[in-house]
Structure 1
């Protein structure tokens, strides 16, 4: 399979083996321990959402994590601000894994929550497992066919999704647009991207990716949103896998309608 973004053969989102995605293997490889780069990203997202909602105190709001996969920390970042959070996921395997986590997520996620608790709004949640259980629902669906009832969300996250579903830059841009389209005008968001990803293995399956850098991320968001923070994170502990050069985080707000 040609995994080059502009090669003669594209691997589109519909072509990838999403329903055989090995969720447990992915989680163990990527999130069984808190890495420095993820901690740095969580710090920025925590502070951005905390600053936003202090200035715009109307809450609770509804929230969405688009392409949640086998990663809970984006949803954790939404907990103080939301009375309901939708984890929207295409892969049946990932959706099943998420549903198993909702009643009582694994102990390995506790260090991720502790990073968020450096801000008082997160500290105020005395039982994050109970809050997660009662706030979170999982829904299977295609990002490019987001149902109308899931639009107009008050806050959203999308981590390592738009660039990790296809080798097509057009689909990358479409995924970013669809994510921003799930938000209400003015709603804050955090979106993270693997920099220069060339594809990735999960278990025995190879999944496509689209090589993007900060310029491509900014250009994809510019028609739809105002970016307040755009940061690149290096790899202080080395890469978690082969085939990427860093991570990019964008925090901002959807533009008014």
Structure 2
């Protein structure tokens, strides 16, 4: 740990015992029931991806969810479009949870899929989502900061509540966003979600750090890597837990040039 510019203790990503993340408690608190914030996010994500892929030619599409944690709905949002989906996750406990979901994911995730099918393009998806999930999703244990080895590899990507929720360092937050964006191919659609002004959070008994970011910081971190994108604060106020002021969603397309 190092001292922050404000005089407090700065918790870096490498300081945290990620393997102790309580996946079951986290899912039970956040995803047992569909919350209004997630429903709002799902509406935006499904329309963004459906509008993009409706006009695209055929060809192999590979997606990635960076820092998947114990959250399946970003992968579900990519399911109709992808020949392969990588769930990249650092925590061993979260990796174990994700791998346990591959064969037949838990019924609580059906309510998230139901929201996606409210878009006619998702609604016309003929395959059984569990079977499709089993066929195309793979779980990979890895660190977001190592994604620089895979520049431009993925055709679509998501990153939900990761860059600001893995460190209290502003530099690491910005680097996390950069690694995510640079892992996407030019023109790839993306969606990234952020907790606004988070003070940290708990999964079970363990406390995890967060970086205090708002719309300006999100926009500044994404702008060098996107040709076209939006930054949108969700209409619902902080309700999922204490210690944050709202949620921010950014979505658009990866730019054709890498920032210097």
**Do they fold alike, i.e. is TM over 0.5?**
yes
Q: Which residue of 2 aligns with 1:81?
A: 81
Q: 1:79 to 1:150 in 2, by over 3 A?
A: farther
3-state SS in 2 of match to 1:250: strand
2: distance between equivalents of 1:57 and 1:120? 19
2: distance between equivalents of 1:5 and 1:26? 31
Once the two structures are overlaid, the 10-residue window that deviates more, 82-91 or 148-157, is 148-157
Query: After the TM superposition, which parts of structure 1 deviate over 6 Å for at least 4 consecutive aligned residues?
Result: 1-5
The alpha-carbon deviation at position 226 of structure 1 amounts to: 2.8
The alpha-carbon deviation at position 230 of structure 1 amounts to: 1.7
Q: Which residue of 2 aligns with 1:245?
A: 245
The alpha-carbon deviation at position 243 of structure 1 amounts to: 0.3
Q: Which residue of 2 aligns with 1:180?
A: 181
**Paired residues of 1:221 and 1:227 also in contact (CA < 8 A):** no
Q: Which residue of 1 aligns with 2:191?
A: 190
The alpha-carbon deviation at position 4 of structure 1 amounts to: 7.6
1:197-250 per-position Cα deviation (integer Å, ceiling 9, x unaligned): 0000111111000011111100000111134332101435x5111101110000
Residue 159 (str. 1) matches residue 160 (str. 2): yes
2: distance between equivalents of 1:2 and 1:27? 31
- Number of aligned residue pairs: give it: 256
The alpha-carbon deviation at position 62 of structure 1 amounts to: 0.3
Q: What are structure 1's unaligned runs of at least 5 residues?
A: none
3-state SS in 1 of match to 2:140: strand
Taking only aligned residues, the RMSD between alpha carbons, in angstroms, comes to 1.9
2: distance between equivalents of 1:49 and 1:8? 41
2: distance between equivalents of 1:91 and 1:129? 24
Q: Which residue of 2 aligns with 1:125?
A: 126
1: distance between equivalents of 2:190 and 2:170? 21
